[in-house]
Structure 1
Amino acid sequence: MRPRSAVKLALAGSLPERLRSLRDGQAAIRVATVGAALESGVLDALVEPRTTAALADTLAVTDVRLLEAFLEALEAGRLVRSGPAGHRLTRRGRAVLADDVVRAAYEGFSGYHTGLYRDLPVQLRGGPARSDIARHGDVIARLSRAFEPLVHDALAAEVERLRPARVLDVGCGDGTNLEHILRAAPEAEGTGVEVDAVAARMAQERLARADLADRGRVLAMDVRGLLADPARLGGPVDLALLANVVYYLPAAERSDFLHDVAALVRPGGTVMVVSTVAEPSAFSRHFDLLLRAQEGEMSLPTARDLAGYLAAAGLEVTGARRLTPGDPLHAVTGRRRG
Structure 2
Amino acid sequence: MARMPNPRVLAEVLRSGNLHARLRAAREGLTGVRLQLIAAALDLGLLDALDEGPASTEQLAGRLGAVEQDLLVAYLRVLAAAGVITGEGSWRLTRFGRAVVGDDVVRASYEGFGGYHTELYRDLPALLRGGPGRRDTAEQGEVIARLSAAIYPLIRDLLVRTVTERRPRRVLDIGCGAGLHLAAMLEAAPDVTGIGVDVDPDTAALARRTLSERGLADRASVEAVDIQKALAAGRPGALTDRIDLALLANVIYYVPVDERVELLRAVAHLLAPGGALVVVTTVAGPQLFSRHLDLLLRAQEGRMELPAVDVLLGQLREVGLQPQPVKWIGPPGAALGAVTAIR
State the TM-score, normalized to the length of structure 2.
Answer: 0.95
Write the mapping of 1:16-165 to structure 2, written as runs, cut at 5 A: 16-47=20-51, 48-83=53-88, 86-165=90-169
CA offsets per residue over residues 214-256 of structure 1, 9 Å max, x none?
Answer: 0011011122425724462351010000001111122222112
Pair 1:203-2:210 in alignment: no
Shift of 1:322: 1.1
Partners of 1:321 and 1:313 in 2: CA distance: 21
Q: 1:276 aligns with which of 253, 274, 282?
A: 282
* 8 Å Cα contact 1:319-1:334 kept in structure 2: no
Whether the aligned pair in 1 keeps the contact of 2:231 and 2:266 (CA below 8 Å) is: no
Q: Give the deviation of 1:55 after TM superposition.
A: 0.8
Unaligned runs of 5+ in 2: none
Q: Does 1:317 align with 2:327?
A: no
Relative to structure 1, is the Cα distance of residues 249 and 233 closer, same or farther in structure 2, using a 3 angstrom cutoff? Answer: closer
Counterpart check, 1:254 vs 2:260: yes
Q: What is aligned with 2:247?
A: 241
Aligned equivalent of 1:303, options 288, 305, 309: 309
Alignment partners' CA distance in 2, 1:18 and 1:292: 31
Query: Which of 297-306 and 96-105 deviates more?
Result: 297-306
Deviation, structure 1 residue 61 = 1.0
**Corresponding residue for 1:333?**
340
Q: Secondary structure at the match of 1:319?
A: coil
Count of paired positions: 335
Q: Distance in 2 between matches of 1:14 and 1:263?
A: 59
Task: Tell me if structure 2 keeps the 8 A contact 1:172–1:192.
Answer: yes
Aligned to 2:297, the other structure's residue is in SS state helix
**Alpha-carbon distance in structure 2 between the residues aligned to 1:318 and 1:21:** 44
What do residues 298-318 of structure 1 show as CA deviations (whole Å, max 9, x unaligned)?
110012222112111110112
SS, match of residue 87 in structure 1? strand
Query: C-alpha separation between the residues in 2 aligned to 1:261 and 1:305?
Result: 18
* 1:334, distance to aligned residue in structure 2 (A): 0.7
Shift of 1:200: 0.5
What 5-or-longer segments of structure 1 have no aligned partner? none
Q: Which residue of 2 aligns with 1:293?
A: 299
1:26-56 per-position Cα deviation (integer Å, ceiling 9, x unaligned)? 1111111110110111100011111111111
CA distance in 2, matches of 1:91, 1:232: 45
Shift of 1:96: 0.6
Q: Determine the C-alpha separation between the residues in 1 that align with 2:244 and 2:62.
A: 56
Structure 2 CA distance for aligned equivalents of residues 271 and 139 of structure 1? 26
- Counterparts of 1:253 and 1:128 in 2: how far apart (Å)? 21
Residue identity matched to 2:243: V
* Further displaced range: 293-302 or 249-258: 249-258
Letter in 1 for 2:272: R
Instruction: Report the Cα distance in structure 2 between the residues aligned to 1:56 and 1:75, rounded to whole angstroms.
Output: 17
2:97 alignment partner AA: G
In the alignment, structure 1 residue 186 sits paired with structure 2 residue 193 = no
Please state if 1:221 is matched with 2:225: yes
Q: 1:10 to 1:313 in 2, by over 3 A?
A: same
What secondary structure is seen at the aligned counterpart in 1 of 2:325? strand
Alpha-carbon deviations, 1:114-162, whole Å to 9, x = none? 1111111121112221111211111100000111111111111111111
Cα pair 2:284 2:335 within 8 Å, conserved: yes
Distance 1:103 1:231 in 2: 35
CA distance in 2, matches of 1:234, 1:125: 46
How many angstroms apart in 2 are the aligned matches of 1:15 and 1:230? 61
Distance 1:250 1:59 in 2: 41
